[in-house]
Amino acid sequence: MKTNRRKFLQYSGLTGIGLVGAGALKSHAAKEQVRSENYTQQFNMCGYAAPKLDTVRIGFIGLGNRGPGAVERMTHIEGVSVKALCDIRSEKVNAVKKSLEGSVHSPVIYTGKEDEWKKLCERADIDLVYIATPWSLHTPMALYALQQGKHVCVEVPAAKTIDECWQLVETSERTKKHCIILENCCYDFFELLTLNMARQGLFGEIVHGEGAYIHTLLTDNFSKDKYYDMWRLKENFRNGNLYPTHGLGPIAQVMDINRGDKMDYLVAMSGNDFQMAAMANELAAKDDFYKPYAGRTYRGNMNTTIIKTNKGRTIKLQHDVTSPNVYSRIHKVSGTKGSCLKYPEDARIAFGHEGWLSAEEFKKMEEQYTPPIVKKVGEMAKHVGGHGGMDFLMDWRTIDCLRNGLPVDMNVYDASLWSAIAPLSEWSVANRSNSIDIPDFTAGSWKTNAPVDTSLIKGGTTNVLE
């Protein structure tokens, strides 16, 4: 089914789109306000350098699974002031505030009410709002923060619907404030290494890429304590690639997506659910708490999504967080001169037909092409931690860009595009894996936008603190 770039806005009110057929989509679309066929870019946020901030004053919203680690990491970066903390659960806020005792940070806390986070966004002494809440809150919170004149860091996915993606684009452009997706996998060590190698032309013309989120979360999704109000289990009522950005982000950067190439269309297919409904029914038979989750339809175990780019490249993405697999994001880059593969074993690189490089040869390549960001703060990143250090590298790079007036690596167009794959894959799955067009959130500026800076720390001066 041919679907134009802006028509997805007509489907914006749908949640659980994977459960809705084409007829229902058309019926709903008829009731929606038809927006302009062609979006006119208000301001190009790609390459935009916001005014320098000597000190980046941060407010954190969401202190459950990811938020506390983000607060702790930021205390190791020069030029940061933790000004405010927010979570609906007072015990979460108080625990993080207590962890900061004895430091230079003395944040104000917001807790107990559903809309307390708005007060944080409205503070005049905050430059950056860092959002680590359940997925459905990401866009509403990011939009409000942008409207209050704040830069935003938002956890993945940044949006759940195509309409939300466009709202982020329009608001970031209008306010000239950065909306940075917290895609930490773009800062993992091998991903940075291979991005630099691709920039130097070692892989030749990039032909194909693969990424994934294969991670056994079955028990976590049904845990009463892991995710507040069982929010992540509820997300699994949808059927598609629900969490595409970890595998996609690094591949999109290697391919210069939004910066010389763009995604044209995708097809997606999900297998059956072999485990989630069965577990829900089994738990409900023993515990009334789980009865609302019994008798429901859940996403298939494995979703495979294939993307075609304007330059004729292909991207394969996979999502399976149920089956008992070994963790993998795949990260495969295939070019006309060489290729790389990170999982399932040790990362590997090959050129021509000579097979994988030996350990000694790989070490030499690593020493030659490790980018400056890793040389500067890589060891500290490993010490501070956060998924092996990539979380710290991501946070450090964000602060360094804001303090030095540098363009950010992952702007609002990346946030919207990478997140859009989820609802688009749901549509394809619901329509017998038919192809569906992918919006161009850059409004054509992808043709002239410059690639992500290969040095990644050009002009960077921010120090790390012990």
Asked if 338 and 204 count as a contact pair (C-beta separation under 8 A), the reply is: yes
pLDDT of res. 461? 82
Domains delineated in the chain: 186-371+412-447 (3.30.360.10)
φ/ψ of 86, rounded to 5, equals -145, 135
DSSP symbols for 351-414: ETTS-BPPHHHHHHHHHHH--HHHHHHHHHHHHH-SGGGHHHHHHHHHHHHHHHT---SS-HHH
Asked if 206 and 339 count as a contact pair (C-beta separation under 8 A), the reply is: no
At 345, the pLDDT band (50, 70, 90 cuts) reads confident
- Reported as a single tens digit per residue, the pLDDT across 113-136 is 999 999 999 999 999 999 999 999
pLDDT of res. 18? 38
The DSSP symbol for 276 reads H
At 97, the pLDDT band (50, 70, 90 cuts) reads very high
- Kindly give the pairing relationship between strand 128-131 and strand 436-437: unpaired
Say whether pLDDT at 208 is over 90.
yes
pLDDT of res. 1? 36
CA distance 416 to 268: 19
Say whether pLDDT at 5 is over 70.
no
Q: What is the pTM of this model?
A: 0.93
Q: Is 56 left (phi over 0), alpha (psi -120 to 50) or beta?
A: beta
Mean pLDDT in residue range 205-230: 97
Three-state SS for 162? helix
CA distance 161 to 312: 26
Q: Two tokens at 171?
A: 């608001």
pLDDT of res. 282? 98
CA distance 236 to 224: 15
pLDDT of res. 12? 38
φ/ψ of 307, rounded to 5, equals -115, 135
| Residues 6+ positions from 392 with CB-CB distance below 8 Å | 73, 76, 377, 380, 381, 384, 385, 386
Q: Which residues pair with 131 in a beta bridge?
A: 61, 154
pLDDT of res. 349? 95
- Average pLDDT of the chain is 92
CA 415 to chain centre: 6
At 457, the pLDDT band (50, 70, 90 cuts) reads low
Q: Is 117 buried (19+), middle (13-18) or exposed (0-12) by CB count in 10 A?
A: buried
3-state SS record for 173-221: HHHCCCEEECCHHHHCHHHHHHHHHHHCCCCCCEEEEEEEEECCCHHHH
30-44, 247-261, 424-438: which range is least confident on average?
30-44
pLDDT of res. 346? 83
pLDDT of res. 3? 38
Letter string b/e over residues 431-461, b meaning 16 or more CB atoms within 10 A of that residue's CB: bebbbbbbbbbbbebbeebebbbeebbeebe
Asked if 374 and 393 count as a contact pair (C-beta separation under 8 A), the reply is: yes
Three-state SS for 436? strand
- Kindly give the pairing relationship between strand 338-341 and strand 332-335: antiparallel
Ranges assigned E (strand) in 103-187: 108-110, 128-131, 151-154, 179-181
- Rounded to a whole number of angstroms, the distance between the first and last alpha carbons of the chain is 56
Say whether pLDDT at 100 is over 50.
yes
Mean pLDDT in residue range 439-460: 85
pLDDT of res. 145? 99
Total residues found in the chain within this entry: 466
Q: Is 119 left (phi over 0), alpha (psi -120 to 50) or beta?
A: alpha
Asked if 339 and 332 count as a contact pair (C-beta separation under 8 A), the reply is: yes
Mean pLDDT in residue range 68-79: 98
Say whether pLDDT at 171 is over 80.
yes
For the beta sheet containing 303-309, the strands, ordered from the edge strand earlier in sequence to the opposite edge, are 348-351, 338-341, 332-335, 206-214, 314-320, 303-309, 263-270, 436-437
